[in-house]
Amino acid sequence: MPVITERQRALIGRESEPRDAPYVINDAMTHFWCEMVEDANPIYFDPSYARTTWLGDTFAPPPMLLTWMIAPVWPEVPRETAISRLALDDCPATVAVNAVQEYMIPLRYGDRLASTTRIDSISDEKTTRLGTGHFVSTVDTFRNQRGDVVGTHTFTLFIYRPHPAGGAP
């Protein structure tokens, strides 16, 4: 059965080193993203309109928060993550359960982001229809070049060992 070790429990609450975003917040990527989701909000691109709002200037859509941290697929650069450090080797399957983002301040064009990750919690062993494993919650904290927290992303995964073929709880 998948059992959490003391080494794994010691990872709870430990913040990772900051990881820099590969790209500066920019309007070209924002245009592509807005086209993809069909978001025509003028606050993102029209400085004249933006100056009439309480925000005072254009900014990138808040839901793009994770987008800025996505590493290019080429050249491939291996990197360790909070989940890989957890090393639940007897749990080869993972399913996303929940994701919540909070936005503190606007992402301004020209900002540079960095993020840290911490494992927030690891459940006791649970058995679901999928298999036996652990619910793991992580919190990514995003900061701009001034060190201001611009947002957070809380992500819960179920990391598990599937039931044998044809078997169920």
Give CA–CA dist 46/54, Å, rounded: 14
Domain boundaries, the chain: 6-162
What does the angle CA 29 – CA 32 – CA 37 come to, to the nearest 5 degrees? 125
pLDDT the model gives residue 168: 63
Q: Note the pTM of the prediction, 2 decimals.
A: 0.91
- Least Cα distance to 159 among 96, 98, 85 occurs for 96
pLDDT score for 90: 87
pLDDT of residue 81: 87
pLDDT at site 51:
96
What is the rounded CA–CA span in Å between residue 160 and residue 125?
Answer: 9
Q: How confident is the model at residue 20, as a pLDDT?
A: 96
Backbone angles phi, psi at 68, to 5 degrees: -70, -20
User: Measured over all CA atoms, what is the biggest interatomic distance in the chain, rounded to whole angstroms?
Assistant: 62
Give residue 79's pLDDT.
82
By the 8 A CB rule, do 25 and 108 touch?
A: yes
Instruction: Please list the helix, strand and coil fractions of the chain in percent, rounded to the nearest 5, in that order.
Output: 20, 35, 45
Residue 74 to residue 98: CA distance in whole angstroms:
29
Q: Note down pLDDT in tens along the chain; length 169 residues.
A: 567 889 999 999 999 999 999 999 999 999 999 999 999 999 999 999 999 999 999 999 999 999 999 988 888 888 888 888 888 888 999 999 999 999 999 999 999 999 999 999 999 999 999 999 999 999 999 999 999 999 999 999 999 999 998 666 6
CATH class of the domain whose range is 6-162: alpha beta
